[in-house]
Amino acid sequence: ETAVFQTPNYHVTQVGNEVSFNCKQTLGHDTMYWYKQDSKKLLKIMFSYNNKQLIVNETVPRRFSPQSSDKAHLNLRIKSVEPEDSAVYLCASSDRGRTEVFFGKGTRLTVV
Amino acid sequence: SQLAEENSWALSVHEGESVTVNCSYKTSITALQWYRQKSGKGPAQLILIRSNEREKRNGRLRATLDTSSQSSSLSITATRCEDTAVYFCATDGDNYAQGLTFGLGTRVSVFP
């Protein structure tokens, strides 16, 4: 099966903890993304990454960082979570032409 | 930067009826895409319509694009309960690595 796979599906953690979410795509795409979706379903891009370029949305706090081992994997690390980080984090990938962006099912983060 | 916006927050229809979601955007585009997100899933593409196209169909779905007014619409005919979802329009940026910019989303509810 070719798709975008995210783990975990859910994560509950306390303020100040570090968390890491995994993402793998088997579509052979060269570009991967992380989006944040808030409770109102607003989708905001956080990072875009391929083997040549990392683009960071300037509104993303520094405690967020992408980590990639190869073009099929793009993990998301949050150093010290805060309550406003509670959201669904969606990993996605596309080819260079962006004719279609494929999304994973998302990781729902709850910060208590 | 581009901003895609849907014009209605939520729409409700009964099965068999038609529904139209509208979208406006702010700058020039090469293509506009429509996505649907069902509960617990990531967004999935429905239609891509290029800037030189005025209309595109995919089964019960019909997308239009008016570049002069910078607007697009997605119509669903003969709606079914499984069409219940959040619908997004999305536009591309100049840099392929930037990913897509998604609109605010319109929640469509189809009732029996």
Structure tokens at B24: 């406006």
Q: How many Cβ contacts (< 8 angstroms) between chains A and B?
A: 63
CATH number of the domain residue A15 falls in: 2.60.40.10
Decide: residue B25, CB within 10 A, 0-12 exposed, 13-18 middle, 19+ buried. buried
Q: Which residues pair with B92 in a beta bridge?
A: B100
- Residue B56's CB is within 10 A of a number of other CB atoms, namely 19
Reported as a single tens digit per residue, the pLDDT across B42-74 is 999 999 999 999 999 999 999 999 999 999 999
- Is some CB atom of chain B closer than 8 A to the CB atom of A53? yes
Mean pLDDT, rounded, for B82-111: 87
Chain A residue closest in CA terms to B6: A42
Number of domains in chain A: 1
**What architecture is domain B4-111?**
Sandwich (2.60)
Structure tokens at A17: 């903890």
Mean pLDDT, rounded, for B81-95: 89
pLDDT of residue B1: 31
Which domain range does residue A80 map to?
4-111
